[in-house]
Chain A
């Protein structure tokens, strides 16, 4: 394990009752990488992502985050989750909090920042995504694209070392996909380590440093985006790409 590896996954398996969703995943995420995970629905890509911060408990295997085995039950997972931001398909903004409070809640509650520091940080980040005038609004007053940009800001306010995106644009109206992808692109350019589960092939081609194709609970192929899209080797990937690419 080299020093610039942030996440190392070995032999990761996950079963729901009798259904084996992940059948042994091995991969490493290095600092600054933008890894895009694609695959048909039911391939286990979301489950894989959710295992990385143990929102799903892995059935078997090891996940190391900065050299610490976080699948160890004795590890305080909350401490590690502080450093792994997550963005959900359904945004999941806290409905009972304002936008500002959504962003400052965790850093203040966890004692990482004072209220003032957190609010400064929140406004700075909201400014970047063009939503500072929404600070006192409630989530229900925002469009889907705005909600997702706030959700990204909320995760970033924790100063994470890696950002996990679980189909961040799948629940958005088509005209709002662009604004969210732009924020993610800027984030990638700023050097953030990202793992993105998505169906946006354009984003994968343009922004990813590595693309992973998952199917039937295993990684079928992974490569840099150029090779991945122009010269796919795995027959399942070829079939998949022929269906999604126009």
Chain B
């Protein structure tokens, strides 16, 4: 009995020492804010980049033969080549290396670390989102596209009103997964001295020389974030399912 009480007291002391003393909990809060900002902006950038890339890739693969204008045709071929190179490079190298390259080599003059990190993670995520969305577009029956075109709708109208909404709905679980991965991937932001949640925990550890409390706290916060996000996606999925039963 005594030993249990002692353990609790130890934990309490540890807790106070790590988080309350010197208001070190504020570091975690600030870090969380940075993590959320970086995740939010990179998710946005990832979606936009991903959809654009997916459209280029799938239009090229399924419709290049129907484009009669030689300029448009070559433009699409060029864009497709660029997209393929982008996908290969981004998916073929570690995100930490990409982040450091962007921070230390490409955008040296940019001050905002949040901006740099958002760009790096967004560009990285875009490659994965592109393949997810492309698989969604490819999974839609060709008849949906033909029906749209047979009514006189343009390629763009058919894609935006018929194909893409169905494709995104189909790949929602995969997209949600990608964003969960992205949220946790931002934990390498510390490599460019950005004080995100993980870095904040690490800072506390370096001051207090105790690893258990700060690391567990950081892990718990990520877990809660992911649970919350998962719930959100579940609700969204259920709504979408209801909408076309």
Indicate whether A110 reaches chain B with its CB closer than 8 angstroms. yes
Cβ contact within 8 Å between A106 and B151: yes
| Option from A78, A86, A93, A140 in Cβ contact (under 8 Å) with B154 | A78
Nearest A residue to B155 by beta-carbon distance? A78
CB distance from B113 to the nearest CB of A (A): 41
Docked CA distance A82–B144 (Å): 17
Cβ contact within 8 Å between B152 and A81: yes
Indicate whether B33 reaches chain A with its CB closer than 8 angstroms. no
| Option from A55, A73, A96, A105 in Cβ contact (under 8 Å) with B244 | A96
Per-residue contact bits, chain A 91-120, to B (CB 8 Å; 1 contact, 0 not)? 111111100000001100110000000000
Indicate whether B184 reaches chain A with its CB closer than 8 angstroms. no
Set of chain A residues within 8 Å of B100, measured between Cβ atoms: none
Per-residue contact bits, chain B 149-178, to A (CB 8 Å; 1 contact, 0 not)? 111111001000110011001000000000
CB distance from B238 to the nearest CB of A (A): 16
Docked CA distance A94–B157 (Å): 13
Cβ contact within 8 Å between B245 and A57: no
Set of chain B residues within 8 Å of A94, measured between Cβ atoms: 144, 147-148, 161-162
Indicate whether B143 reaches chain A with its CB closer than 8 angstroms. yes
Cβ contact within 8 Å between A95 and B146: no
Number of interface residues of B (CB under 8 A): 25
CB distance from B144 to the nearest CB of A (A): 6
Cβ contact within 8 Å between B149 and A138: no
Nearest B residue to A112 by beta-carbon distance? B152
CB distance from A204 to the nearest CB of B (A): 23
Cβ contact within 8 Å between B152 and A106: yes
CB distance from B242 to the nearest CB of A (A): 10
Indicate whether A169 reaches chain B with its CB closer than 8 angstroms. no
CB distance from A93 to the nearest CB of B (A): 7
| Option from B66, B151, B169 in Cβ contact (under 8 Å) with A155 | B151
> Which chain A residues (150-170) contact chain B, with CB distance < 8 Å?
151, 154-155, 158
Docked CA distance A132–B68 (Å): 41
| Option from B147, B152, B166 in Cβ contact (under 8 Å) with A110 | B152
Cβ contact within 8 Å between B149 and A81: yes
Indicate whether A141 reaches chain B with its CB closer than 8 angstroms. yes
Indicate whether A10 reaches chain B with its CB closer than 8 angstroms. no
User: What is B's interface to A at a CB cutoff of 8 Å?
Assistant: 65-66, 68-69, 141, 143-144, 146-154, 157, 161-162, 165-166, 169, 243-245
| 11 interchain pairs, CB-CB under 8 A | A53-B150, A57-B66, A73-B68, A81-B151, A88-B150, A92-B141, A93-B147, A105-B161, A106-B148, A109-B153, A138-B244
